[in-house]
Amino acid sequence: MTRRTIAGTSMLAALAATSGVALALHAHGGTARADDGCSAGSLDGAYAYALQGALYDANGNETADVASAGRIVFDGEGKLSGADWFSKNGTASARSYTGTYTLGSDCTGSLQVALTGSPAVPRHIALADGGKQVMVIQINTGPVVSGSFVKQ
């Protein structure tokens, strides 16, 4: 591998970490256009998912690797619920949650997910492949997590 290829690969990895939704849509050939007419009803039913990322302290130092796999159910009217297995540095635990979601006509939107006994966590989403797949990214103080949901 040449130095230019390594630098390009590193730059792509950094871009993927900060712009996972856009890259995922491009990589999967999906498009999210306003004329697709997305709304809350575009997300309806159960999706399986896998997410991974890291937690960071206030100084930007990575403090833990995190991952989860689970099932989320959208009601088609802006509410969601689900359960997953969550791993933090290899220690796994089962979780359940509820929340809300919004979806704009351009097929992008947001989730507010509240784990039982915890405040809501924001995530950004984009639909792909006619709603069969959802790209998700969470970037707020502390965690950087991304992944995808697949319609069951």
| Tens-digit pLDDT profile for residues 44-99 | 999 999 999 999 998 999 999 999 999 999 999 999 999 999 999 999 999 999 99
Does pTM surpass 0.85? no
Q: What is the DSSP string of 12-52?
A: HHHHHHH-HHHHHHHHTT----GGG---GGGSEEEEEEEEE
**What local confidence, expressed as pLDDT, does residue 86 receive?**
96
**What local confidence, expressed as pLDDT, does residue 119 receive?**
84
**What local confidence, expressed as pLDDT, does residue 81 receive?**
97
**44 contacts 75 by C-beta, under 8 angstroms:** yes
**What local confidence, expressed as pLDDT, does residue 36 receive?**
53
> In this predicted model, what pLDDT tens digit does every residue of 3-50 receive, in sequence order?
333 333 333 333 333 344 443 333 434 444 445 589 999 999 999 999
CATH no., domain 20-151: 2.40.128
Q: For the purposes of burial, counting CB atoms within 10 Å of the CB of 149, is it exposed (0-12), middle (13-18) or buried (19 or more)? A: buried
Q: Where are the domains of the chain?
A: 20-151
Which residue has better confidence, 114 or 140? Answer: 114
